[in-house]
Structure 1
Amino acid sequence: MTIDPGTLVVAATRAEARYVPTGTRVLITGIGKVRAATALTRLLAAVGGDAPVRQIVNVGTAGALHDHHSGIFQPSTVIEHDISSTELRSMGYPVVDRWEMPDGDGTVLASGDTFVADPVRRATLAARADLVDMEGCAIAHVSAEFGVPCRMVKVVSDGADEGAMDWPSLVDDAARRLGEWFETVSPA
């Protein structure tokens, strides 16, 4: 499969992007919101000319906040779960902590720098979202700031519970499923 050269695939780790089709433009950001925002901003600020980025596809793993979620999801909404947006807004500081994704499947992805493996935290997040990751909101935010359309493709790797600590042993299977997604659905 050939991916449009204007598409930039963004992943936190090389392991998550291992099965992205050869020849695809891939940016590996590192884990967490700061690293993701920094790497994508740096690239978008520097790129242009013959190779403009016309679309961003953020691929990666996610924890399921509900036991019935498994497989691949394309979230419709991304929220930042670990910012005090209510408090900041009440002090007069507007904070964007929610982004709508085109062509999503109705799921909500909660992003934050906290690795979710605690049942209490999981239950709290499950009241607002379906999945949890650590970079999606940063990618959505930077994409919006640069006016570049963005979509998310997340594969459930764990249950956002104590099993999440096994993520290193689960990521290869998840990455294979993302690679299969590229073979069946064109992100262009």
Structure 2
Amino acid sequence: CATTMCVKYDVTHILNTGIAGSLDNQINIGDIVVSTDAVYHDFRVEPFGYPVGMVPGRKTISFTADETLRKLVVDSIQKVAPEIQVFEGRVASGDIFVAQKEKKDWIISNFGAKCCEMEGCAIAHVATDYHVPFVIVRAISDKADEESTISYEDFEAKAAEHCANLVFQVLQSL
């Protein structure tokens, strides 16, 4: 989807919103994480000499979010929902819903990410390849632990509402 948007349309920015599991004990359900960068926590080609998370042909494991867009998003969140705590940091993406302490701890120790989800890094990867400024914004739906499936379902609708309000505010500020 991100590739199609970049190829077919004159995309000037990508603001990707959604929900994620917290990897930081200080980040609670309902808080928001704004990406400084994104990594794939499930990309594993170490037998070929690459570190965990490294995509062959790249120089780093991460895709860096646009600083100006990131600041705009943080300011916008503070305008539309000042009661919500905002954290900035790394977003880790993979093809699993993290609901086990062992996997959560592994992602934290290998990547130092603030949250984990399933698509942000792919979007960051495309945005980087097409030289489109991006930022990933995640409302925390769960703590990426054994209780995750319960809290995720409870918070999903509220997170979508927060994200929609944020997008409207950012669009007005661009």
Short-chain TM bin: 0.7 to 0.9
Q: Distance in 2 between matches of 1:143 and 1:87?
A: 28
Q: Distance in 2 between matches of 1:185 and 1:74?
A: 13
Q: Distance in 2 between matches of 1:111 and 1:102?
A: 18
Structure ranking higher on relative contact order (CA contacts 8 Å, 6+ apart): 2
Q: TM-score normalised to the size of structure 2?
A: 0.73
Q: TM-score normalised to the size of structure 1?
A: 0.68
Aligned-pair CA distance for 1:148: 1.0
Q: Distance in 1 between matches of 2:3 and 2:170?
A: 27
Aligned-pair CA distance for 1:100: 1.1
Q: Distance in 2 between matches of 1:182 and 1:137?
A: 19
Q: Distance in 2 between matches of 1:75 and 1:110?
A: 10
Name the one with the larger helix percent.
2
Amino-acid identity (%) = 27
Q: Which residue does the alignment assign to 1:109?
A: 91
Which of 8, 12, 16 in structure 2 is aligned with 1:46?
Answer: 8
Question: Is the 1:111–1:134 Cα contact (8 Å) retained in structure 2?
Answer: yes
Q: Which residue does the alignment assign to 2:108?
A: 126
Q: Which residue does the alignment assign to 1:16?
A: none
- Kindly provide the amino acid, as one letter, of the partner of residue 131 in structure 1: C
Aligned-pair CA distance for 1:146: 1.2
Q: Distance in 2 between matches of 1:179 and 1:144?
A: 24
Q: Distance in 2 between matches of 1:147 and 1:90?
A: 24
Question: Is the 1:77–1:106 Cα contact (8 Å) retained in structure 2?
Answer: no
- The number of aligned residues is 145
1:179 aligns with 2:164: yes
Gaps of 5+ in 1: 1-38
